[in-house]
Amino acid sequence: MVKIVWTELSISDLKEIFDYIAEDSTRYASITANKIYQRVQPIIENPYIGRMVPEFSKKSIREIIDGNYRIIYLVKSKSQVDILRVYHTARLLKKKNLK
């Protein structure tokens, strides 16, 4: 079992997603944010469940796709995974965006 740590960037991403969707529907914004949060829970049991992020080709940087969102995470150790970003699939991912 690993501990999931949401980085400041990933929390900010989730908040931005919520705020954007909430402009039209707070209900749907809550559903979307909760769905993203629940989508990462299987990582607790299997940190390598997601695929390697193609832009980086590093075994420790992985992602899970949920609808239009890429949940990018780092397998930091045997006991910790950091959620790095929650990125819309339409956006171009660059190395500088993970820092």
Q: What is the pTM of this model?
A: 0.90
51 three-state secondary structure? strand
Q: What are phi and psi of 83, to 5 degrees?
A: -80, 115
Confidence at residue 91, expressed as pLDDT on a 0 to 100 scale: 75
Any idea where the domains of the chain sit in the sequence? 3-94
Q: What is the pLDDT of residues 8-52, one digit of tens each?
A: 999 999 999 999 999 999 999 999 999 999 999 999 999 999 999
How far is it, in rounded angstroms, from Cα 20 to Cα 91?
15
* CATH code, 3-94: 3.30.2310.20
Q: What is the pLDDT of residues 54-76, one digit of tens each?
A: 888 899 999 999 999 999 999 99
